[in-house]
Structure 1
């Protein structure tokens, strides 16, 4: 079989293709035999050849790339075992790839976890909203709630597992994962909320406060909902109704009434007042 593997790799390199995409005729030619002879040696199917290539540490292709398979495998393992129970060996086994390929693609476990959070967390939907933001404050707040609810309740349940690790180990992989993406997340909040602050529709609170007032009730509810549902039964409103209540409560807390005096200025993402403006109620000199 070694000669056939060498022939398959040579043919794939010459054609610039994955081994699985190289016709058997081309592999047979590289091996110096006919296609029928090659098939006889393989037992009538190319599957043994692809498997032999895989055992050498080379992905024969013909299926999703290692990166996609590893992210999906890691996400399901995180949901099943939590972050602490996921090793690169387990991911490689579930994704049917080699351990060196994981290190090459993700540069270690933290890199893999960061990629999982990026794919299954709220950031892609948040940045999609930034690209095409709703016009009204209410629609913006509702869309942000929807993006976070989708990430928290979607399968596999990666984000609840991430927060469980974050609460249990503030210096663990979940904290590093969050730190890698928080700047982009707060940039999304800034682009969506600060225009409404500047227009005098929202109170000029520091951006972290605006974001936490919005997300914390939802996060707490989704974390506790698996416990609340069997305990409260029909007394617990459906999640969609809870989202409406959270949106309404947030708008009551931060929306300025029509005709309210203009604020001194919007609060920048770092919490500072622009252009030397003073916080509400502070003397101007």
Structure 2
């Protein structure tokens, strides 16, 4: 066959066999082993591969053309991020090893190295997925001139991240507070803080230069911006259980703390 020719279409009998096996197993077609499909048809796996052109991509495309989504598992990176997040939320940051994530994500440790490079890089990916840092960077990178709306957007993003399930960000903050000298936490600390100051810190420095906020160290402004809301949201699940101690709606909480922050640092 010349390079200009298209591969032979997958025979209908193979498509139907794959669909039958998927129904029997109550699984997606993409998750059905080729050996099981070969047994259904009554041929060897090597013969099946030859009839498919050497791989299962043609089969999945033929199944899709027949009006059925072949499905399949998410990529290893996605499964690992979700599995690692669940482990952090349930058992803390120290519980996250490549071996435990691989078992939960139904993949090999080798595939995690291929997807991330190592445990530290995997933790960074999990943090970025479940923290508001990327979204906050996008807000401040737009170089807004409206300090009020920018602060309120940041509060809304922070509130969403801290209430999100699995509770990754609260669990990581708890580890930082409980064991600040733990060497296993340092790679994540050394990644998060420089990135935070490269984005939010740069924005605050520009606001100071523009005369919109008081000239204070960026670290203190960041802490003044985030700490009240973070503390409220970390304790909110507990205080909500106390009788006769109703918690205001989250939107009201964010507005209250935003107003207090602006009164403290904004210049006329």
TM-score normalised over the length of structure 1:
0.68
Aligned 8 A contact 2:84 2:101 in 1: yes
State the secondary structure of the residue aligned to 1:205: coil
Query: Alignment partner for residue 224 of structure 2, among 190, 202, 213?
Result: 213
1:170 aligns with 2:180: yes
Contact 1:190 1:207 in 2 (8 A): yes
Matched, 1:48 2:58: no
Give the unaligned 5+ runs of structure 1: 1-21, 26-33, 54-59, 258-285
What is the match of residue 96 of structure 1? Answer: 106
- Provide closer, same or farther for how the CA distance between residues 44 and 232 of structure 1 changes in structure 2, counting only shifts above 3 A: closer
SS in 2 for 1:231: coil
C-alpha separation in 1, matches of 2:9 and 2:21: 11
Which string of whole-angstrom CA distances, capped at 9 and with x for unpartnered residues, describes residues 150-173 of structure 1?
221112210001011112221334
- The CA deviation at 1:38 is 11
Q: RMSD in angstroms over aligned alpha carbons?
A: 3.2
Q: Does the alignment pair 1:84 with 2:94?
A: yes
* d(CA) in 1 for partners of 2:200, 2:102: 36
CA contact 2:141–2:203 (8 Å) conserved in 1: no
Structure 2 vs 1, CA of residues 41 and 192 (structure 1 numbering), >3 Å: closer, same or farther? closer
* CA–CA separation in structure 2 for the residues paired with 1:202 and 1:252: 10
Q: Which residue number in structure 1 is paired with residue 194 of structure 2? A: 183
Alignment of 1:122-271 (within 5 A): 122-172=132-182, 173-231=184-242, 233-257=244-268
Specify whether residues 140 and 38 from structure 1 end up closer, same or farther in structure 2 by C-alpha distance, changes over 3 A only: closer
How far is 1:86 from its partner?
2.7
Task: Kindly state the Cα deviation for residue 85 of structure 1 after the two structures are TM-superposed.
Answer: 2.3
CA distance in 1, matches of 2:95, 2:151: 35
Which runs of no fewer than 5 residues in structure 2 stay unpaired?
A: 1-6, 23-28, 38-44, 46-56, 58-70
